[in-house]
Amino acid sequence: MNNDNNIRKGKPTIEPIVIPEDKKQKLDKVLNYKHTSHSQKERAIKQIVGGFCCLCENPPTQILKYKLEDATLIERYCDKCIEKVK
Ligand SMILES: [Zn+2]
């Protein structure tokens, strides 16, 4: 029997998330505009970065890739949270 909690993930590779400058500016604008609603921020982060940091709701800046036997597991982290998992 496999226990999902004990999957051996091995050592991940860390890659920076590269966002084109125009999209980055668009995201900054959405996030910093005080009238932007929470759901609008969520949508912008999903659209532009692809998802959220695993540990908080900030836009992620780094991707961790774990090679599993038949798949690659991807986790996204922001600058702050990446320090906790490195
Ligand atoms: Zn985070």
Q: How many A from CA of 64 to the centre of ligand 1? A: 13
1-57 residue pLDDT tens: 444 555 567 789 999 999 999 999 999 999 999 999 999 999 999 999 999 999 998
pLDDT value of residue 2 = 47
pLDDT value of residue 4 = 54
Q: How many A from CA of 1 to the centre of ligand 1? A: 33
54-68 residue pLDDT tens: 999 899 999 999 998
pLDDT value of residue 11 = 85
Phi-psi sector, 51: left (phi>0), alpha (psi -120 to 50), beta:
left
Q: How many A from CA of 79 to the centre of ligand 1? A: 7
What is the per-residue DSSP string for 15-57? EEPP--HHHHHHHHHHHH-TT--HHHHHHHHHHHHSS--SSSS
Report yes or no: 61 and 55 within 8 Å, Cβ to Cβ: no
